[in-house]
Structure 1
Amino acid sequence: MEKKIVLTRPFSLERQSDEETNPKAPNILRRILSLFKNVRPGSDVSCFKLPPEFNMPKSELQCYAESVYSTALDILSNINNGNTPLDRLINVVAWTISTVRPFWVGVAPYNPTLGETHHVSKGTLNVLLEQVSHHPPVSALHATDYKEKIEIIWCNSTAPKFTGTSVEVHVHGIRQLKLHNHGETYEMNSPNLLIRIFPVPGVDWIGNVTIRCIETGLVAELSYVSQSFFGFGSNQRLVKGKIFDSLSKKILYKIEGHWESTVTVKNTDTAQVRVIYDAKQVISGLQAPIVKDPESVWPTETAHVWSELSEAILSKKWEKAKEAKKIIEERQRELRRERESKGEKWVPKHFTVSYNKEKGWNCSPIKSSVPNAPIISL
């Protein structure tokens, strides 16, 4: 039987089509509030189950992966073009900002199933993700570019909290970007996602991000600022920060801009200002990946696991969508019961996973490089 695979367009500056993002209900605010009427402020909603009308036709795994492989310009490879460690850190800052993508209020991706994967190639960059834990949700990412000698390792653990007027999704876990040609490793964290319900529905990235080069001691600090409570003001999608030497504490550059438009750096010695990131050039006009070799797609591929549900959502067949989602959830419960009855513990296939109370989750790829994928990003 031929594998059914459904892939949708990545998040980009352009609003997705109604077929991809529009919930069934005409009054989005009323419908969202109805979902949380019995949820107390401060509650962890990581296990909260959304009806299909509020799902976008893709898993959270694909959303993570898109931020790495879906760009109109090869901003990742450009990092190696920096002549000095400082130049390369500035390029890393630009790439880090590019991984922040617009989300639309009223819809959310699927919660990945345990062992779900996403495997995609773009040029010489190969990207592999695996859902290594379901409760709590933990996603692992490994990407390697064999031409540029670049490696990326992420371990993302999300913890959404309901505040009464919004849902703030805390994204825990260290992200590493390794430039093997230069012997440099950059460590960074992720901003948090704020889904505002009242008084003005909207979605923002908020919080502080630190990017640190272990070998050089150069550090960049970014602050993603939310708009005001009532949705007014010029701070929407604002990002600002600085680049400094951790040894001398001297500030070398100041960073300012809006992550959905342009971001600049200002040299503190010369006062020269230049644009380091232009969202229109990097995350606009993005297309859905294509399947080059259907037979080689793994059964765990997210675009295969959720294909029936995604098709139903895209065609707005909500009863069929509910049944498709129910089948996936029941299958997951059945597999968990089977493991428990046999006393078996599920083990990830592509990552070694550990947890430390102080440092959190750690996901180490089992293989040193990611192979070519049967799914291709354009």
Structure 2
Amino acid sequence: MEATKGRRQSEIVLTKPFSLEGESDQSYRAPSLLSRLLTLLKNVRPGSDLTHFQLPPMFNFPKSQLQCYGESVYCTSSNSNLLSKCNSGQNPLERFTSVVAWSISTTRPTSFGVAPYSPTLGETHHVSKGNLNVLLEQVSVNPPVSALHATDEKENIEMIWWQQPVPKFSGTSIEAEVHGKRLLKLLNHGETYEMNAPHLSIRILPVPGIDWVGNVNIRCLETGLVAEISYNSSHSFLGFGGNRKLIKGKILDSSSFKVLYEVDGQWDKTVKMKDMNSGEVRVIYDAKEAIAGLKTPIVKDEESVWPTESALVWSELSKAIMNKDWEKAKEAKKGVEERQKQMLRESGVKGENWNYKNFRVSYDKERREWDCSPTHKWVPAAPIIAQ
């Protein structure tokens, strides 16, 4: 892993993560919803692929998508130990149910009407929380693909993710499918858990809102245990009312197809699990305990922050947005885009030949699948610390 030190041209700007209340940095308030909706509707058409659509700064929340991905892993309440529970389970079934709870914890509240920045090629985000070190890199921008590697040497845990959002506009809503793969490895037990992510549904009409939807499948390759979890909403009249944060599913043994547990609840409240043999019901996930009252990360060692760090790459734009200086925001966003173009021209390479610093990247055209393997066994401690 390379870290190029040099004179800082900008300060590092970090913002509060989305917590259970859906809040983030209190110094930022988005422009009126109506003005943003009118701007969006003037620039897109039904059926549009929004993968490369560039939002005006008033639609941006002051942080990169890389940071949002990372926060879903490292931003947890100080009293939450979900990842440790995955490792400390006494048997495969205990560990599997803890992995299901941890997977639910990566579902985070979002804010309607604003979106994070689309990361630049080679952009990175490197943060530590306790013994967990998390590193992300944007390995492609066309299409946008983000890779994540996280390790905890004390617990002997490793995570490897790659994600590709594919948003499409239907006229009254935007459906952002999240393609990719998530692997969680409990190395002490020789177990690998493979899972996917829910999709993001952004409703514009009749009632504006944003929901996590779709099916998440979690599988332990070694034990054959499988979870089928559905993110959905209860029925409502013409889009009004109803509950849009429901989770339902089951845990089963794939060798016998026997359902072991039923899972039911809300990802923003509590999720319970019912033992199909004994009838016992217990809470496996409490969102208030896990993702409430989250704090802004801090910079421990500014000189060790990489020039490619998200919080540095976008710092001028983030400051302008937080100050609601939209002219300066436009200039700052254009500046990031111009620097990206210049960097590619000077390097003389195209995106597919990019010199990745932290991952070995390949793409299977027939299967339309990416593979992002970390180049190092362990992620080093980061200069940015999650509280």
Q: Which residue of 1 aligns with 2:131?
A: 124
The residue type paired with residue 65 of structure 2 is E
- Which residue identity does 1:95 align to in structure 2? W
Which residue number corresponds to residue 330 of structure 1?
338
Q: What corresponds to 1:306 in structure 2?
A: 314
Q: Sort the Cα spacing of 1:291 and 1:266 in 2 relative to 1 into closer, same or farther, 3 A.
A: same
Partner of 1:252: 260
Q: 2:144 aligns with which of 127, 137, 143?
A: 137
Q: Please tell me whether residue 54 in structure 1 is matched to residue 59 in structure 2.
A: yes
TM-score, normalised to structure 1, is 0.95
Name the SS for the 1:242 alignment partner: strand
Distance 1:144 1:119 in 2: 12
Contact 2:272 2:285 in 1 (8 A): yes
Question: Map of 1:13-52 to 2, 5 A cutoff?
Answer: 13-16=20-23, 19=26, 22-24=29-31, 26=32, 28-52=33-57
Change (3 A) 1:21 1:100: farther
Q: How does 1:263-274 map to 2 (within 5 A)?
A: 263-274=271-282
Matched, 1:91 2:109: no
Of all paired residues, the percent bearing the same amino acid is 63
Question: Quick one: distance in 2 between partners of 1:15 and 1:92?
Answer: 24
SS at match of 1:158: strand
In the alignment, does 2:309 pair up with 1:296? Answer: no
Tell me the distance in 1 between the aligned counterparts of 2:287 and 2:22: 14
1:369 aligned residue = 378
Q: Name the structure 2 match of 1:168.
A: 175
Deviation at 1:347, TM superposition (A): 2.1
Q: Pick closer, same or farther for the CA change 1:75–1:242 going to 2, 3 Å.
A: same
The answer to which of 74-83 and 89-98 deviates more is: 74-83
Write the distance in 2 (CA, Å) between the matches of 1:17 and 1:372. Answer: 25
Amino acid at match of 1:321: A
Whichever residue aligns with residue 162 of structure 1, its letter is F
- 1:64-108: CA deviations, max 9, x gaps? 000000001121112112111111110000000000001111100
Look up the match of 1:240.
248
SS in 2 for 1:330: helix
Give the 3-state SS of the residue equivalent to 1:48 in structure 2.
coil
Q: Distance in 2 between matches of 1:377 and 1:344?
A: 33
What corresponds to 1:321 in structure 2? 329
One-letter amino acid of the structure 2 residue matched with residue 48 of structure 1: F
CA contact (8 A) 1:29 1:201 kept: no
Q: Is the 1:7–1:288 Cα contact (8 Å) retained in structure 2?
A: yes
CA contact (8 A) 2:207 2:240 kept: no
RMSD, aligned α-carbons: 1.8
Deviations 1:134-177 (A, max 9, x none): 11000000000000000000000111111111111111111000
- Normalised by the size of structure 2, how large is the TM-score? 0.93
2:139 & 2:154 partners in 1: Cα distance? 28
SS in 1 for 2:82: coil
What is the Cα deviation at residue 343 of structure 1?
11
Which of residues 179, 198, 205 in structure 2 aligns to 1:198?
Answer: 205
1:336 is displaced (CA, Å) by 2.7
Please say if residues 19 and 314 of structure 1, whose CA atoms lie closer than 8 Å, have aligned partners that are also in contact.
Answer: no
Does the Cα contact within 8 Å between 1:21 and 1:107 map onto a contact in 2? no
Gaps of 5+ in 2: 1-6
Q: Which amino acid aligns with 1:372?
A: A
Shift of 1:306: 0.4
> Given that residues 61 and 116 in structure 2 are in contact (C-alpha distance below 8 angstroms), is that contact kept between their aligned partners in structure 1?
yes
**Could you say if the C-alpha distance between residues 220 and 301 of structure 1 is closer, same or farther in structure 2, counting changes exceeding 3 Å?**
same
- Contact 2:17-2:24 within 8 A present in 1 as well: no
Tell me the number of residue pairs that the alignment of Structure 1 and Structure 2 aligns.
376
For the pair 1:76 / 2:83, whether they are aligned, the reply is yes
Shift of 1:194: 0.6
1:215 is matched with 222
Give the distance between the partners of 1:344 and 1:287, measured in 2 at CA: 37
Q: Does structure 2 conserve the Cα–Cα contact (< 8 Å) formed by 1:125 and 1:143?
A: yes
Match for 2:66: what amino acid?
A: L
Where does structure 1 lack aligned partners over 5 or more consecutive residues?
A: none
- Cα pair distance change 1:36/1:224, threshold 3 Å: same
Q: Residues of 2 paired with 1:229 and 1:107: CA distance?
A: 26
The letter for the 2-side match of 1:37 is: K
SS at match of 1:37: helix
Q: Is the 8 A contact 2:62 2:321 kept in 1?
A: yes
* Structure 1 residue 18, shift from structure 2 partner: 7.3
SS in 1 for 2:86: helix
CA offsets, 1:200-225, max 9 Å, x none? 11110000010000000000010000
